[in-house]
Structure 1
């Protein structure tokens, strides 16, 4: 198989091309639906929680239509790139196409590809949900990530147990994570190791990743005041207790 592979996604959004362009071409826009982004020394840095970040650059840009981001690959290899294409449709909607390329071969290729695909499905679902329920509102992001040697199913059982429920898609819930405010809303995302809740003011996402031995939670608060620093610390502590990595 060719070692340089491409992953493609497409979503139709209830938004104008200008709105979608802002959401995929600026750090503030990317933070609305992906993870926190900010400019750092001429690069754009994405914060995946728990001290994990990824820096990249804009490689190509056609204002209003197309932007390509690139992150360094392994030594001597070309970068991984993420291309966004914006296309307006009649009726006021916009199609966003995403193409990720620069994957490399290996025994875990299929799992890696599948993991990225599921991740983009979740984030693009966030973007569609933002335009549907929270369009125009600013966001405060809270992200926490931990690593563990435990199997994904074991971690997931712990996670749902500590949330106080393992609900189905469409179910209304009130989750009660210890030491944090309850999460009330409707389950809008569900998979084997994925749980997403849409609340009155945003989204809460929980995900376990077998391939990278990782568990994470991402929260989006739209149009409300949230102390990001203290809330992030609280969720990171919750994740650390879950994975057994809590600092003394």
Structure 2
């Protein structure tokens, strides 16, 4: 396999190896920083919002050190795998390494590779910030995703207009999405016209425009608080659906 199609990331975390292992080896732990996960008929299913789910199996398991997830292909080989490696450090921190293999072989695989890379940067940042600010608290997730035929730059411009702000990293911000409660916090993630992340007193809000896959989504994490996930998810899904639609339906500010 072309080495460029093997995406590797690592992050140093202010957590013990046991805490990191819990975060990457259980559905509850994965939900804390990634997307909602649950066990379904012996498989682990991830919910990416908007009816988009993906199920996989545990292909390798070395307790406390290594786990590999994947979905076996027709020839018995996984077309894509996620490998997590946990390494404790003597100073009380832990290094988590992630390796994703098996990218599709189409002409646009490099765009797919870049898109996954940005996504993992966000999710690993979530994990680091979780241990820094919300460690030990259970999570309630809200996820909304929609496909779009609009150019990414156009969707992004509409997104920040509808949120009422286009802040920079480190700014304090008050987002005002129409029909939804305001979001107040600090911008802790900002990647060009791709990703905006806000840390609030209760958790994280993430907004992403994925031009390579023609999608727009929001993933939200609420730690240690009661959240009506069903109604909140429905409201944000309607908001994202409208954003993904024709420009004539926009309610930009």
**Unmatched segments (≥5 aa) in structure 2:** none
| Cα drift, residue 4 of structure 1 | 8.4
Distance 1:78 1:72 in 2: 4
Residues 38-95 of structure 1 show CA distances to partners (whole Å, capped at 9, x for unaligned) of: 000110000000000100000000011100000245x556421000000100111000
Shift of 1:3: 8.4
Per the alignment, residue 56 of structure 2 pairs with 56
Equivalent position of 1:94 in the other structure: 94
Aligned to 2:199: 198
1:216 alignment partner in structure 2? 217
TM-score, length-normalised on structure 1?
0.95
Q: Secondary structure at the match of 1:54?
A: strand
**Residue in 1 that maps onto 2:128:** 128
Name stretches of at least 5 consecutive residues in structure 1 with no aligned partner.
none
CA distance in 1, matches of 2:135, 2:17: 14
Judge conservation of contact 1:8–1:98 (CA < 8 Å) in 2: yes
Question: Structure 1 stretches (4+) deviating beyond 4 angstroms?
Answer: none
2: CA distance, partners of 1:130 / 1:4? 30
- The answer to whether the aligner puts 1:39 opposite 2:33 as a matched pair is no
* Kept after mapping to 1: 8 A contact 2:44/2:57: yes
Instruction: Give me the whole-angstrom Cα distance separating, in 1, the residues matched to 2:238 and 2:27.
Output: 27
Q: Cα deviation per residue 1:154-192 (whole Å; 9 max; x = unaligned)?
A: 111111111001111100000011111110000000012
102-111 or 214-223, larger mean C-alpha shift: 102-111
Q: Distance in 2 between matches of 1:187 and 1:244?
A: 26
SS of aligned partner of 1:15: coil
Counterpart Cα distance in 1 of 2:25 and 2:179: 36
